[in-house]
Chains A and B, each alone.
Chain A
Amino acid sequence: MSSQDILPEGKQEFTITVYTENQIGLLNRIAIIFTRRKINIDSLNTSPSEIDSIHRFTIVINETEDVVRKLARQIEKQVEVLKVYFHTNTDIIWQEMALYKVPADMIAEKAPVERLLRENGARAVVIRKDYIVFETTGHREETENLIKVLQPYGLIEFVRSARIAIIKDSEGFNAKLREFEQREPGEEVSENEYLNQRDKVFTM
């Protein structure tokens, strides 16, 4: 049974992408929008975006589309938020990274290391006398699979990153900026200054 099958009726995994100013406290403001509705955030990543000084949040939740749409509007309402998109898994390409620490002696003596790494698309990032750290990147099921495989060999520690995602079909936020640049070219203006004319860049 996949994780999709056990979700309550109408709920599915959504990835919310939020473009924001790089501002202290904004993470809290965005998180509050979820917590006050008692919605659990499954994964949250913040990083710089393709545009200088603009940050990008990638938030994964399990909810109905109606709830996600309302949440997106509430997030977009925040002063320092520029744009919010939300997508189902079919609309995005996403990855999560995982690290696994296993005892070196167990692995060296018992595990078919080469096959194990190949089958799971993993690689060793640290090899020490006492332990080895492997890394994989992929979807949740893929990274979880390697846990099961490594468990019998005394998995010491496991950590998985938040999801990062790229939108499949849409050219997204950057395209809107580039379109605007072509339409109204400016002299020696940086991308950010185009954002100062938000009304012409964004539609809501």
Chain B
Amino acid sequence: MEATQQEVLTAPEEQQAIELSGSAALLEALIIEGVSTIFGYPGGAIMPIYDALYDYKEKLNHILVRHEQGGIHAGQGYARSSGKVGVVFATSGPGATNLVTGLADAQIDSTPLVCITGQVFAHLLGTDAFQETDVINITTPVTKWNYQITDATEIPEVIAKAFYIARSGRPGPVLIDITKNAQIQKFAFKGYTPCHHIRSYRPKPIIRPKFIEQAAQVINEAKKPFILWGQGVILGKAEKEFTAFLKKSGIPAAWTIMGVGAIPTDHPQNVGMLGMHGNYGPNVLTNECDVLIAIGMRFDDRVTGRLDKYAKQAKVIHLDIDPAEIDKNVQTHVAVWGDCKETLPLLTQLIEEKQHTEWLEKFNDYARQENEALIDAELHPQTGEMTMGEVIDQLNQLTDGDAIVVTDVGQHQMVGCRYAKFNHTRSNITSGGLGTMGFALPAAIGAKFGAQQRTVVAVIGDGGFQMTIQELGTIMQSGVDVKILILNNRFLGMVRQWQELFNERRYSFVDIQSPDFVQVAKGYGIAGKTVTEREDLQSSLKEMLSNPGSFLLEVMVTKENNVFPMVPQGCSVSEIRLK
């Protein structure tokens, strides 16, 4: 829908100009860009846009959030589940500054967003006017692009540019700050032409066949090749191309938490999760493979552990759309610049069809060891309090891997990512790079609006839930159907785990008290219950999933359970601990 809209437009010079306010021109532009849902919060400096929105209620569904941070995380959830650009409105000053966390989150996780902020009148800029902040300078480091509009005539061109930049190449957040006079000002609107080209912006680097040939040669000569894939596969909509590459190459593949779901969890070559709390095999064998093929991932420090001991024996092939990612953390042997949707088929064509059975079996061996030492006890405990893992396992059985799982940040996030099953792409939504607590509840609201036919389960810790708990109000008012699964261990669990392992159990301010979550939900008109006994878990999850609207299920889990395996900070990936 986003790109095809241009067909209904005539070129600006052929159209008769109509007089519109800057605000109306903005909304017209959004409609042509295919926007149907906006998350936002009004305020003085964005009032003209909200006034215009009153006339567009039929075409633009505006979701009133309870805090701008909730608004932008909802926009992120929407973008991640739908593959479209998330749109967020906020007013000037505090409204705009409340977007900063979400912008930073979207920037590091490459999420396409267009945020529109109101700004004081142009003649007041720089005078410390009421609710004025220098939002352009504040947001520069955390946006892919930003721009301040001070004249309504700039609106069509700048909005077109904003959408093009947000969604093309490596996606990212764009912020457009519009002064109040530009929102009010009437001008001759000559139509809207979506942008497909900017002189100084090249979203995709040129594909260089020479390097694809080199990469194919290295892969063909490899005895123990290993694939690491990240969100680039999903952002590039290259799931099919990736599956074809896997099939022909026969190479085992492991994922970053941003990449999970690009292929089904039970794909025979999927050997699990990378990184600090990833699986045993992929971490250990990273330091044994002879060729490492990184696809659309950026070698985050949570994935690599100690860089000076990371895959030193391997030739590294890195496929990425962003040339700045190549050699940033890990030195590559062959760099394949480009959109992996285009480069993967070229590579697949040149590689020999192979089976790496023995090598793959080595991963399976490690998986068996991990199962025996750890996973079985985590997913199927017979005694004691419930574990986070068994809750996720039960959820898998009931959703059959078809749900969108939105996780917050902390222990439950790692457990969720490790154990949730996915059959479909765009099913795991989490704050990967920034690690933003408070992300999941609003992101789940957005995710549901972005994929209304799918079940959305927000898996949240008791700490993170309280960071954006006010978004229960958004659920109440919009009637969105989000299943909220709180894994309550009465601790800020991940920090507590680190304190236990590395700070001699000095539990400094991690013992967090929570309100009666079910009563809080009830106050917002949301049904809910608390589960304390294992025997009630499955029926309660069923009740949550079959409830016609939103439902909050709080599960009381073991207080001091740790997430393992773990690569302790400062260690190499092969030093991963099972206990």
Contact = CB atoms under 8 A, between A and B. Distances in A.
Interface of A: 20-21, 25, 28-29, 32, 36, 69-70, 73-74, 76-77, 79-82, 192, 195-196, 198-199, 202-204
Contacts of A73: 323-324, 326, 328
B324 A74 contact: yes
Interface string B497-524: 0000000000000000000000000000
Interface string B107-150: 00000000000000000000000000000110011001111000
Contact of A192 (B145, B165, B199, B206): B199
A24 B327 CA distance: 31
A69 B136 CA distance: 27
Given A32-B141, A36-B141, A81 B322 contact: no
Q: What are the 5 A-B residue pairs with the smallest beta carbon separation, nearest first?
A: A73-B324, A79-B145, A79-B201, A77-B324, A82-B200
A192 B198 CA distance: 12
Nearest to A25: B136
B430 to A, nearest CB: 25
Contact of A199 (B136, B206, B324, B327): B206
Contacts of B362: none
B368 interface: no
B383 to A, nearest CB: 50
A25 B139 CA distance: 11
B327 A70 contact: yes
Contact of B199 (A29, A70, A196): A196
B137 A82 contact: no
Contacts of A28: 137, 140
B223 interface: no
B323 A20 contact: no
Given A73-B328, A203-B206, A204-B323, 15 more contacts: A21-B199, A25-B140, A32-B140, A69-B327, A70-B324, A70-B327, A70-B328, A73-B323, A73-B324, A73-B326, A76-B323, A79-B144, A82-B200, A202-B202, A204-B337
Contact of A198 (B146, B199, B324, B326): B199
A81 B198 CA distance: 11
23 contacts: A20-B200, A25-B137, A28-B140, A32-B140, A70-B324, A73-B324, A73-B326, A74-B324, A76-B323, A79-B144, A79-B165, A80-B201, A81-B200, A82-B199, A82-B200, A195-B199, A196-B197, A196-B199, A198-B199, A199-B202, A199-B206, A204-B323, A204-B337
A69 B331 CA distance: 13
Interface in B452-480: none
Contact of B202 (A20, A32, A70, A198): A198
Contacts of A204: 202, 205-206, 323, 337
Interface in B202-218: 202, 205-206
Contacts, number: 56
Contacts of A199: 202, 206
A204 B322 CA distance: 11
Nearest to A194: B199
B240 to A, nearest CB: 26
Contacts of B146: 25
Which one of A20, A29, A76, A79 has the highest number of Cβ atoms from chain B below 10 Å of its Cβ? A79
Contacts of A32: 140-141
A149 B197 CA distance: 56
Contact of A21 (B200, B206, B324): B200
Contacts of B144: 79
Nearest to A203: B206
Nearest to A72: B324
Nearest to A77: B324
Nearest to B337: A204
A77 B143 CA distance: 12
B309 to A, nearest CB: 19
B365 to A, nearest CB: 38
Nearest to A66: B327
B172 to A, nearest CB: 10
Contacts of B136: 25
Contacts of A20: 200
A150 B81 CA distance: 69
A204 B169 CA distance: 15
A75 B332 CA distance: 20
A130 to B, nearest CB: 38
A165 B356 CA distance: 54
A79 B198 contact: yes
Contacts of B140: 25, 28-29, 32
A163 to B, nearest CB: 24
Q: With a 10 A CB-CB cut-off, give which of B137, B199, B328 has the most chain A CB atoms.
A: B199
Contacts of B326: 73
A29 B201 CA distance: 15
Contact of B200 (A29, A70, A74, A80): A80
A145 B206 CA distance: 48
A76 B202 CA distance: 10
A79 B199 CA distance: 9
Contacts of A202: 202
Contacts of A29: 140
Contacts of A198: 199-200, 202
B307 to A, nearest CB: 13
Q: Which of the listed residues B198, B202, B322 has the most CB atoms from chain A within 10 Å of its own CB? A: B202
Contacts of B327: 69-70
A76 B147 CA distance: 18
Contacts of A21: 199-200
Contacts of A77: 322-324
Q: Which of A21, A28, A73 has the most CB of B within 10 A?
A: A73
Nearest to B136: A25
Nearest to A31: B140
Interface string B439-463: 0000000000000000000000000
Nearest to A36: B141
A69 B141 CA distance: 20
Name, among A28, A81, A195, A198, the residue most crowded by chain B CB atoms within 10 Å (CB to CB).
A198
Nearest to A53: B199
Contacts of B337: 204
A204 B147 CA distance: 27
Contacts of A192: 199
Contacts of B202: 198-199, 202, 204
A35 to B, nearest CB: 9
B147 to A, nearest CB: 8
Contacts of A80: 200-201
A192 to B, nearest CB: 7
Contacts of B199: 21, 82, 192, 195-196, 198
Interface in B144-199: 144-147, 165, 197-199
Contacts of A82: 199-200
A196 B195 CA distance: 13
